[in-house]
Chain A
């Protein structure tokens, strides 16, 4: 289900684009499973210090699921928007898990076989997940608030921060000029920082 026929992914993406919730759930599972598979493989062959950049990871997932030959920008755009949400979710899940561990007062070694191991394994290969879990959760909350006030800015932050896209890519994806991306980004960043520091 994770690899092989690229067609379902393309179809799912289109369905997600039309707002189909069942398709969203299915695609989510598909992508998450693929991310885990990559994480497992990376851990098996690489030193633990090796990290994958989010864009690289998402690209790899995308190529794996959709096939190299059928790079269609519309699909890709959907996919990246989607992937950004997943990366955000991964961060949040990871932060919650670590917070829980901290409360439990002990650090269990990350194991692929442990029930929580897969998520942790994934987190350990995605750069930037070593942040303070509290900060990550606070950011998530602030981002949710921003989403309500200005959805475009929230989306932009996810694409940039969670999916690691460049301003040009984001501009192309959202159909706005790179300059406008900057404008929105700086404002959103300042706003989020203020929200986080609670001033």
Chain B
């Protein structure tokens, strides 16, 4: 034996003889060792022991040696052993074994004939032995429960028992059945028909669940469809009954085979904790089958992966959305399915999963026939996609809570009714992503916070120091400053001669794509290029050069104005105002300016849009001291002195005072009136909405030598007041005698009960009243009168 050359020759010969059939062996040996009796004796002795050893000797995973009748799955020549299976022809229970249907990791399935009642059955003999009394009782107990599962879509278990210590199950034999996926592909079923198959499977699984049995190993090979198109779920609860739970069977079976099974296992099953498995694990497996059935591929491609990495993929990866599976990826995965199935062939050297048990024996041709999958799977999207993805949720609580729930949604879909599955919202998807990539999430969050803090700091610095906040005019009007929030001067405009009347900031709007504008009214600033114009500066560009000017050219003067001898350059801006005058017709705010004549009372009111286009223009014989825009009534209120000439026209010389007037204009979009405003609505365009004057002759008397009327925002706009008026009484030296204020409504009428005198007024009343006639504040005597004032006789007025 120590002779190495004999050892090697014996081994070579042994191998050659072993590969030959029994009746060829002697002849071959005669030929091969014609002259070497020692070699022949050695080989023959070893061959004898090889034959005697059978499968039981040194059998790994060691069931008791006497019971080693089953071919090991990993044994080469397993097919050979199928044919010579020692149990063929024998009787187990009251079943006579006819032939082997399939063999696999868990055991062997035989076609057998039962005697009582006489029928064909599938007999599954498990590989793992029952080691103890308690396990045996457990098996009997579970088998009893399984035998009570009576459902048209569940292959019935007739009987269970043990044969020389190995558990066996006698089951309903389903002739010519195919796994659900192969059946559907072979018959090229439509999506609708495929769903009908799954509906049957759901019914069966739910029925089992209601009786407390979880299948635990749902996969196409265990969901068979018979010739009549009826689904038969097989092996219900077998894994549990025999204690051959996934966690253990997985490790002892072939990696390739396990991967095949693993594909359909829920994440909690992959985590290999049998206590965590519940009905929702079956829902998951149904979801995988549904996915494969409709998409033509499995949700995860774990071919060639190690066990641990495959399990990790299932526990962590999000399956590709069915709608993302194009024909191209589908045909690629077709190959993948092909290899997977090939590795499952019972006859190939790689053993088959072959829990498909009760099918007819599957030859190579069978495979070739069903293998080519039609790439014409319709795209799975929308509700159907949501149903699939909901059953495949990693978190059991997010899944359908039972097979019945899944079934209900499939039926809703079939009936075109709204389904219950909702797409995961962005938040859920984000959380999942974070769960899968905690390191990335942390890094990204940190980076985000860091970046944001820098951005925020820079932004606040910019905001505080650089963002234009307001334009203020210095006292004396020699300078206009653009200020940031912090008071930082961003830029300024000065004039040595003349003055700056007013300045405002205009925020850009849809009609303007530049930065904010500073609108500044220059009065005879002849030392600059701005002159007597309203200049708009774009603050995002060069703040020195105005982008437009509101100026009065000689041609702009109406004829009757120029006839009076007025020149264009005698007008200068007095008021600049920014409001949204035409909310419906023009985007953003508009700029209102009032150009006043330097000596006389004529003026022009203009409204410009943000690009400097004139939207409204009207001329008026009278000064405008104050303007107020009332948004609600859309009225522009103007307060000032009426033109002396017009006043004189009415034959009233009102001592040294021109009359105070207050009037309301409703600006008209795109109306440029190059004529004077008419005080009465009936005068024709352009006319004021209303026009009132202060009853000066009745007020200026006694110690009162002059009055000043002011226009203020209303104190109670909700009561319909559009402005608060304030009248100051002055004596001959200009000393204040007191104030009287009241509110006006949208018609210019005094609002009742709003007239309030100040304490000073009350103290000085005696000086102001004439005789026994206490004039003010008598609410019955109106302060504002309707225009025009009554004509007065010349004689009366002359004294």
Contacts and interface: CB of A to CB of B under 8 A. Distances in A.
Nearest to A165: B60
Contact of A194 (B45, B74, B135, B350): B45
Interface string A129-158: 011000000010000000001100000010
B57 A127 contact: no
A187 B11 contact: yes
Contacts of A189: 49-50, 53, 57-58
B349 interface: yes
A183 B15 contact: yes
Nearest to A145: B1
A61 B248 CA distance: 14
B53 A190 contact: yes
Contact of A167 (B1, B7, B76, B247): B76
B252 interface: yes
Interface stretch (B126-134, B328-336, B551-559): B126-134
Interface string B50-74: 1011000111111111000000001
B690 interface: no
A162 B503 CA distance: 96
A81 to B, nearest CB: 15
Nearest to A73: B306
Contacts of A22: none
* Most chain A beta-carbon neighbours within 10 Å: one of B7, B50, B58, B255: B58
B14 to A, nearest CB: 5
B251 interface: yes
* Most chain A beta-carbon neighbours within 10 Å: one of B60, B243, B308: B60
B564 interface: no
Given A56-B248, A187-B11, A182 B135 contact: no
A51 B248 CA distance: 10
A149 B53 contact: no
A166 interface: yes
A59 interface: yes
A8 interface: no
B783 to A, nearest CB: 91
B164 to A, nearest CB: 15
Given A55-B61, A157-B58, A150 B248 contact: no
Interface string A187-199: 1011111100101
Given A47-B135, A71-B308, A161-B58, A190 B251 contact: no
Nearest to A161: B58
B349 to A, nearest CB: 7
Given A55-B251, A190-B49, A194-B45, A128 B61 contact: yes
Contacts of B46: 187, 190-191, 194
A119 interface: no
Contact of B252 (A55, A71, A128, A178): A55
Interface in A154-191: 157, 160-169, 178-179, 182-183, 186-187, 189-191
A115 interface: no
A163 B15 CA distance: 25
A49 interface: yes
A161 B45 CA distance: 22
Contacts of B58: 139, 157, 160-161, 189, 192-193
A80 B542 CA distance: 79
B25 to A, nearest CB: 14
A193 B61 contact: no
Interface in B238-295: 243, 247-248, 251-252, 254-256
B488 to A, nearest CB: 57
Contacts of B134: 47-49
B54 to A, nearest CB: 10
Given A127-B62, A166-B74, A49 B248 contact: no
B464 interface: no
Contacts of A187: 11, 14-15, 46
A186 B7 contact: no
A127 B133 CA distance: 16
Contact of B61 (A47, A127, A192): A127
A162 B306 CA distance: 22
A53 interface: yes
B61 A164 contact: yes
Contact of A47 (B64, B132, B349): B132
A53 B130 CA distance: 13
* Most chain A beta-carbon neighbours within 10 Å: one of B2, B76, B134, B306: B76
Nearest to B50: A190
Contacts of A165: 60
B254 A168 contact: yes
Given A149-B7, A199-B45, A167 B15 contact: no
A150 B7 contact: yes
Interface string B297-321: 0000000001011000000000000
B18 interface: yes
Contacts of B14: 186-187, 190
A50 B243 CA distance: 9
A44 B130 CA distance: 20
A110 interface: no
B47 interface: yes
A48 B132 contact: yes
A114 interface: no
A164 B76 contact: no
Nearest to B76: A182
* Most chain A beta-carbon neighbours within 10 Å: one of B7, B133, B251, B349: B251
Contacts of B309: 71
Contacts of B251: 53, 55-56, 59
Given A49-B133, A178-B349, A149 B47 contact: no
A95 B3 CA distance: 32
Nearest to A126: B62
A163 B131 CA distance: 20
Nearest to B45: A194
Given A49-B132, A187-B14, A56 B45 contact: no
Contact of B52 (A54, A128, A166, A193): A193
Given A157-B58, A182-B76, A168 B255 contact: yes
Interface in A49-106: 49-56, 59, 63, 68, 71, 73
A168 B350 CA distance: 9
* Most chain A beta-carbon neighbours within 10 Å: one of B50, B133, B256: B50
Interface in B123-169: 130-135
Interface in B98-143: 130-135
22 contacts: A49-B132, A49-B135, A53-B248, A55-B251, A59-B251, A127-B131, A131-B65, A149-B1, A149-B7, A150-B7, A157-B58, A162-B60, A166-B254, A168-B74, A168-B255, A186-B14, A186-B15, A187-B15, A187-B46, A189-B49, A190-B14, A190-B46
Interface of A: 47-56, 59, 63, 68, 71, 73, 127-128, 130-131, 139, 149-150, 157, 160-169, 178-179, 182-183, 186-187, 189-194, 197, 199
Given A166-B74, A169-B255, 17 more contacts: A47-B134, A49-B134, A51-B131, A54-B61, A55-B61, A56-B247, A56-B252, A71-B309, A127-B61, A131-B62, A149-B1, A161-B59, A164-B61, A166-B254, A168-B255, A179-B76, A186-B50
